[in-house]
Amino acid sequence: MSSQNIYILGIESSCDDTAASVIYNGKILSNVVANQKIHEEYGGVVPELASRAHQQNIVPVVDQALKKANITKEHLHAIAFTRGPGLMGSLLVGTSFAKSLAMGLDIPLIDVNHMQAHILAHFIDEEGFNKPPFPFLAMTISGGHTQIVKVSNYFEMEVIGETIDDAVGEAYDKSGKILGLGYPAGPEIDKLAHSGNPKAFQFTKPKVAGLNFSFSGLKTGILYFIQRETKVNPNFIEENINDICASIQYTIIGILIDKLKLASKQTGIKHIAIGGGVSANSGIRQALKNGESKFGWTTYVPKFEFTTDNAAMIAIVGYLKYLENNFSEQNVTASARLKI
Ligand code: KG4
Ligand code: ZN
């Protein structure tokens, strides 16, 4: 990496987290995230409310990121922002803020693909975390996406498998809704699963050819199962919540690991990384680790704070692009369906 002294501000506003981060060369100096509590009562993200909350949060969040990094905006060399994919109303807030800040400071603007950022978060300089060598496989698992990506270089990525319906995070969140848990349900299911028996209940795994995923059938299977059981015993959920969560988690992890095994076999690549909100899951982390002795993999799991949506991952991509003089024009537009 370069020996220049580069400060970059990263801004993330693709969904319901407003985030800002300052990176100095490859090292994160600050990583501020404002979660939007407002969506909890709706059991999912409400786009209009998300956009409004971003407008309220963005100035204080950026301000805090600069303060925590102990710099002023005049120190910055470039502004990196999430261009997409995500919710259009949310993306527009970050995009227009980044554009005006870059213009006001007369420094380069750098657009970042959110899904690439989840993968490139592995290149943040962080003690105790190794960076994967190219080529490696990255499985991005979040509330909006489920993909297996062959990463040949920083910006040379190919999606080799993806979900044909729901994302894996949605499977967690929708299962949680059926069970009466809060939103997002992933972390809670993960916690409850610890004290349950993963083989207590069996759920059918989807049959999807090749490296693609499907999670909508699993969600329906869980719904019918719960409806059937609660008819017999109205307290079924309360009495079995740990076992239900452990069994759901076991099934989901099985689906993910099966596809990773196939991807590794087909490509011959044994360096395997995960990213995205669901990579915070303790079960998938353990299963990946087990793959080291079972399948000869070398695995890479991001630091916890870089798994769910954050701006540090946007800042590292900004830094990598800055080194390549890969800047955006002021007329760049947000793109809700931006592809890798
Ligand atoms: O990457 P992310 O913050 O936002 C998107 O880009 O979607 O991911 C959020 C998703 C939610 O579905 C949430 O339930 C899930 O990540 N999640 C988890 C865990 N922590 C977050 N799922 C399972 N186990 C967890 N520990
Ligand atoms: Zn994300």
> Where are the chain's structural domains?
7-123+307-323, 136-301
User: Which ligand sits nearest to residue 33's alpha carbon?
Assistant: 1
For the beta sheet containing 78-84, the strands, ordered from the edge strand earlier in sequence to the opposite edge, are: 27-35, 17-24, 7-12, 78-84, 109-113
Neighbouring C-beta atoms of residue 209, cutoff 10 Å: 5
Q: What is the pLDDT of residues 147-167, one digit of tens each?
A: 999 999 999 999 999 999 999
Of all protein residues, whose CA lies closest to atom 10 belonging to ligand 1? 143
Mean pLDDT of 81-89: 95
Distance of CA 295 to the CA centre of its chain: 25
Check if 277 has its Cβ closer than 6 Å to any atom of ligand 1. yes
Q: What percent of the chain has pLDDT over 90?
A: 91
Non-local (6+) Cβ contacts of 120 within 8 A are 154, 313, 316, 317, 320
CATH architecture, domain 136-301:
2-Layer Sandwich (3.30)
Q: How far is the CA of 147 from the centre of ligand 1 (A)?
A: 14
Neighbouring C-beta atoms of residue 187, cutoff 10 Å: 18
What 3-state class would DSSP assign to 284? helix
CA distance 151 to 188: 31
Q: How far is the CA of 15 from the centre of ligand 2 (A)?
A: 8
The pTM score is 0.94
Q: What is the pLDDT of residues 270-279, one digit of tens each?
A: 999 999 999 9
193 contacts 205 by C-beta, under 8 angstroms:
no
Q: How confident is the model at residue 83 (pLDDT cuts 50, 70, 90)?
A: very high
Beta pairing, strands 298-300 & 271-275: parallel
Concatenate the DSSP letters of all residues of 203-269 into one string: -PPP---TT-B--HHHHHHHHHHHHHHHHH-TTHHHHHHHHHHHHHHHHHHHHHHHHHHHHHHHH--
159 contacts 340 by C-beta, under 8 angstroms:
yes
Check if 187 has its Cβ closer than 6 Å to any atom of ligand 1. yes
Q: How far is the CA of 340 from the centre of ligand 2 (A)?
A: 13
CA distance 265 to 284: 19
Q: How confident is the model at residue 3 (pLDDT cuts 50, 70, 90)?
A: low
Q: How far is the CA of 25 from the centre of ligand 2 (A)?
A: 23
CA distance 216 to 228: 19
Q: What is the pLDDT of residues 120-155, one digit of tens each?
A: 999 999 999 999 999 999 999 999 889 999 999 999
Task: Kindly list the protein residues that place their beta carbon closer than 5 angstroms to ligand 2, a single-atom ion.
Answer: 142, 309
Q: What is the pLDDT of residues 327-340, one digit of tens each?
A: 999 999 999 999 99
Backbone angles phi, psi at 303, to 5 degrees: -55, 145
Domains 7-123+307-323 and 136-301 share a fold: yes
40 contacts 138 by C-beta, under 8 angstroms:
no
Class of domain 7-123+307-323: alpha beta
Concatenate the DSSP letters of all residues of 80-124 into one string: EEEEESS-HHHHHHHHHHHHHHHHHHT--EEEEEHHHHHHHGGGS
Q: What is the CA radius of gyration of the chain?
A: 20
